[in-house]
Amino acid sequence: MKIRFPMRRLLLAALAASSLGAFPMGAQAHRSWLLPSATVLSGNEPWVTVDAAVSNDLFYFEHFPLQLDGLNIMAPDGSQLTAENSSRGRYRSTFDFRMTQEGTYRVAVSGEGMFASWREGGQQKRWRGAREAFAREVPQNAEQLRVTMSVRRVEFFATRGAPSQRVLQPLNEGLEMVPVTHPNDLVASEPARFRLLLDGRPAAGVEVEVVPGGNRYRDSLNDAKVKTGDDGVFEVTWRGPGMYWIGASVRDTNSGIPNVGRNASYAATLEVMP
């Protein structure tokens, strides 16, 4: 019996192999995501279980767990919740939280990191780490020094009972999405609108990728790309129900450190109902 592997799998495997040593958020074909067990719930203090990973195929564990150092769970009244039952495995991280209040919750992993490359003694050198260690560990006058700061935000929204608005307010930090259509009121074949902000200002002309989950079981990604308008707004019409990943990134020089570029990225998981 002859076993045949789709060409897409081979290409993705090659990309994964070539990306070792790079930041997961910046790796071609790798997407960071949070996958909740549900986003629309009811009942008396329901629980949500969340998987967190970085992978080629959406919502499938085959690359790295997403680190939860920057995890933030915002309750409908703006207070912060503590994750329960957190764990980190070879391919994914997991945690739970209980919805003790009615309304909409915002769950995010955010943070920043720095990556540098240079030549030393004819050899290519690479470094990654925190802002605090950069000046101490990277030679500032190194040959062909290139430095990038990666600022990321990965999130989802979940609602118990009636949707609320408080957690949807902008944070004015990095690249973020402010829903115009409530993120837990998404229906297949109906348009939804969102606004991208960069440091609190409309992010105009930014390409947003929209990918339905389950691409492991398709021959094509079935992604769509839309661009934000001058007001940062973009619109998506969902092709069908299910979990979707949306993502965008912006490169600029607003890192706050001389001669250091910034890559601000955003990703969200949204559940679309029939």
What pTM value is reported for the model? 0.85
Using DSSP's 3-state secondary structure scheme, residue 137 falls into helix
Report yes or no: 29 and 56 within 8 Å, Cβ to Cβ.
Answer: yes
pLDDT computed for residue 13 by the predictor: 41
Residue burial 211-226, b: 16+ Cβ < 10 Å; e: rest: bbbebeeeeeeeebeb
Q: Could you identify the residue written with the tokens 């967190």? A: 52
Tokens 């009244």 locate to 77
Residuewise pLDDT in 10s, the chain (274 residues): 433 434 444 344 433 333 333 333 333 468 999 999 999 999 999 999 999 999 988 999 999 999 999 999 999 999 999 999 999 999 999 999 999 999 999 999 999 999 999 998 889 999 999 888 888 898 888 889 999 999 999 999 999 999 999 999 999 999 999 999 999 999 999 999 999 999 999 999 999 999 999 888 888 788 999 999 999 999 999 999 999 999 999 999 998 888 899 999 999 999 999 9
* Residue-range domain boundaries for the chain: 7-272
Q: What angle do CA 13, 25, 117 make, to 5 degrees?
A: 90
CA end-to-end distance (rounded Å), the chain: 40
Report the pLDDT value the prediction gives residue 3, as an integer from 0 to 100: 39
